């Protein structure tokens, strides 16, 4: 999938209000991960497949840019910063404390003072396993059947059926 960088202003009244509402819903789910709170959380998403399970501690900014396939499992304390689209395919396992981040800021100090945000979509194909504590950075595509080792920082696309690990994540072997 091809990704592009999109500039957006996260400080508009509409987006601030949306984040507050979604953060409240995420906190409520973390305090009480009941079936009703899970259903309310899933209703935020652009799409949510069958048999999706989300453990407590889940966090996102907006929700409406997240698409989850069937049988996705999000372990405890997953963070999805969804200023851009986040697509997770069927049968994916997302480990505890994983961060999937579509948001970035300017590198140049003077540009950062403008408080602009940039987003790049993330696409995770089906049957992917992302190990605990991994960080997926903006604009990354992860191919079908891939594995990301625990604690890895993914800065570039990952091919299908490969094991990547490290900081930055590098090809360890074909699967």
Give the number of domains in the chain.
Answer: 1
Whether the CB-CB separation of 58 and 97 falls below 8 Å is answered with no
By residue range, what is the domain housing residue 143?
5-174
**pLDDT tens readout for residues 84-142:** 999 999 999 999 999 999 999 888 888 888 888 899 999 999 999 999 999 999 999 99
Query: What's the rounded Cα separation, in Å, for the pair 56 and 43?
Result: 16
Query: What's the rounded Cα separation, in Å, for the pair 66 and 45?
Result: 5
Which residues are annotated as catalytic? 105
Range 26-36 average pLDDT: 94
CATH of the domain at 104: 2.160.10.10
Query: What's the rounded Cα separation, in Å, for the pair 14 and 55?
Result: 28
């Amino acid at each position: 999938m091809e990704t592009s960088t999109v500039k957006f202003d996260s400080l508009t009244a509409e987006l601030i209000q949306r984040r507050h509402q979604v953060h409240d819903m995420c906190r409520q789910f973390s305090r009480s991960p009941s079936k009703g709170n899970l259903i309310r959380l899933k209703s935020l998403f652009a799409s949510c497949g069958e048999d999706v399970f989300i453990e407590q501690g889940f966090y996102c900014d907006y929700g409406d840019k997240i698409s989850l396939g069937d049988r996705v499992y999000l372990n405890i304390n997953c963070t999805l910063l969804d200023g851009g689209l986040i697509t997770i395919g069927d049968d994916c396992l997302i480990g505890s404390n994983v961060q999937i981040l579509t948001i970035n800021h300017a590198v140049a100090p003077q540009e950062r003072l403008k408080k602009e945000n940039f987003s790049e979509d993330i696409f995770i194909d089906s049957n992917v396993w992302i190990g605990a504590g991994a960080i997926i950075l903006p604009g990354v595509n992860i191919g079908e059947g891939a594995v990301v080792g625990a604690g890895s920082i993914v800065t570039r696309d990952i091919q299908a059926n490969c094991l990547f690990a490290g900081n930055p994540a590098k090809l360890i072997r074909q699967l």
